[in-house]
A and B are shown apart, each in its own frame.
Chain A
């Protein structure tokens, strides 16, 4: 493998992980944009999504040896289940832990967020145990470039990598469309800009905020399934690290800014991959956060500025 191939290969690995991060980061940024709250339980919502997906797949009994159609159907079913479960969970978290504190000092919902995070981790232990669990591989491991397009290359693009992009991009487009072009999206933007004015205009603010949590949860659930199928391993504590990275990505892009979250996620994915491949893997977390510090020092509002959801 030549140096150039290695570079491209590393970038591709970075992109795949970056897309998953972007999906999670959206949940942080959506919620921050509208209620200025860091939802610390969001990483756990993502973990719960992947557990749900795993449970659904296990329940159907479909494995890799089954035909293509049943596998596609099961993946779709698991995607739907994970998204709805995580979305509903995030909505419920808002309803239970944040909404009663809507007018309380800022620290109060932050503490309940951390509390929710711990509670959900324990639910995770109760659900799937405290050891990492193998997520069955349902996707063919064939190479997109070599096996399907018959291109002679050293660069490996396995189907799971392609799958990450295949699922993530439509979700991102769908989310953008929803926020830009629907009445509910408009209500979200209005609430983000000025909650009281929005309420005066007849927008049900609490419902709109709930909707935002639901959307963030949907994305996290999808990320849970994608990560499971891509990395083939889930654990009750995976949400903490993923959440930390995704939160960093959101801050990097400019928290509250949707484009920023996606770009931040992909950027972090790339930084991680390049650091793993070219520097020492041991230093990767340090490098990630050093990059964060640098960006924040020179651009305190992140790469894309701190815009409310509306101007994204």
Chain B
């Protein structure tokens, strides 16, 4: 009898644990099958006489940013395949790393640091793509800096990573990230100072007079909220509250929204990301009776996840995005968008095209350097000039920022993000 009970307990444990393991395994192995087209086994068409070079990427592949992450992996794989699977005489091996943990559901500092250390320890790794979150970049840039490894981000928009902006970035930024004093970081997206200002200008164009600013207390969200509030004031809008942080894990925001309603704003700006409960905020804002009030966020809410989480409350919400959505690209970009849709049978997340661009920059730099040397490749990356990519023709500045200055304004219509207009800074 006792043996039977033990057996029973064993069966039940197995039933409980196996799906759990499957879930973990599933998360880790997602990129694996898709990785095959880019692996050297896929017989690169280019010259591979000199050996192999490894490119790694580090962004969330589990948690709420999972779709962005896996789409970006697909985009990098496409970039490598388009380049013939080789660059500079080397076969290119791509290894996507996950900087999120299932327990957290978002990027994790320990995981990011582990990824960066893994990359510098592997002498085949010549380029580090990522990160998705600016907070994660703060951790990996200094680690990679000491090894002189080039890092190209597809999505970091925190200005402080590369430049000093009075009243926004910390006093020791950006130097604190570059202990050797030599820059090793570049990014293909415009930064938040531009995005926040453009959002404020757009809010004014939409007829807003009183705005309430919320943020998710993270580096990215709070920073952009600060700039938005600042720019709004300069444009003559009244900031009736904030920037105020929210408790990003709270089950609801009804009390907060009721209080906001009593201040009668006509637009609520949320500096933050979908993962930090943006959907619930939009829901409770509508539920609190603010049906005519506009909801605007930065590119962090410009995700399908936001619409999934907010449901019908997402309708009419606005978001700025650091460039044109893939569907609005022309020329090379439009062609890529069609190919992605064909290959994967779905629309790519907005940042996927930036991941492709970052990977292309890396491959071009390897071509130019033509040697398996971190210093030479970093130099080539930083000297990227008049690069003709999916986003148009652009260059890296001395700080490692892109020269692109246009962004797009988008709105949720019938349950989908739709491009509304191109935003450009007025009078500058």
Contact = CB atoms under 8 A, between A and B. Distances in A.
Interface in B331-369: none
Interface in A111-140: 118-123, 125-127, 129-134, 137
A129 B66 CA distance: 10
Interface stretch (B22-30, B373-381, B418-426): B22-30
Interface stretch (B8-16, B45-53, B175-183, B319-327): B8-16
Given A123-B23, A276-B253, A232 B283 contact: yes
Given A123-B16, A282-B246, A134 B23 contact: no
Interface of A: 1, 6, 9-10, 13-14, 17, 20, 92, 95-96, 100, 118-123, 125-127, 129-134, 137, 141, 156, 158, 227, 230-233, 235-238, 241-242, 272-274, 276-278, 280-282, 284-285
Of listed B63, B102, B279, residue having the most chain A CB within 10 A: B102
A10 B258 CA distance: 8
A280 B308 contact: no
Given A13-B258, A134-B279, A241-B249, 18 more contacts: A6-B258, A14-B255, A121-B102, A122-B20, A126-B19, A126-B26, A129-B66, A130-B105, A132-B64, A134-B309, A158-B287, A237-B105, A241-B251, A276-B253, A278-B259, A281-B214, A282-B246, A285-B249
B280 interface: yes
B309 A233 contact: yes
Contact residues on B (Cβ < 8 Å of other chain), bracket: 35 or more
Interface SS of A by simple majority: helix
A122 B255 contact: no
Contacts of B288: 156
B18 to A, nearest CB: 10
B247 interface: yes
Contact of A130 (B20, B63, B277): B63
Identify the 9 closest CB pairs spanning chains A and B, nearest first: A282-B245, A126-B23, A273-B255, A122-B20, A276-B255, A277-B259, A277-B255, A276-B256, A13-B254
B16 A280 contact: no
B261 interface: yes
B172 interface: no
Of listed B66, B67, B252, B311, residue having the most chain A CB within 10 A: B252
Contacts of A242: 251
Interface in B89-105: 102-103, 105
A17 B246 contact: no
Contacts of B110: none
Interface in B258-279: 258-259, 261-262, 277, 279
A273 B252 CA distance: 9
18 contacts: A20-B251, A92-B16, A121-B102, A121-B103, A125-B62, A126-B20, A127-B19, A130-B27, A131-B66, A132-B279, A132-B309, A134-B279, A134-B311, A141-B287, A233-B309, A272-B255, A277-B259, A281-B250
Contacts of B253: 276, 281
Interface in B157-178: none
A83 B66 CA distance: 31
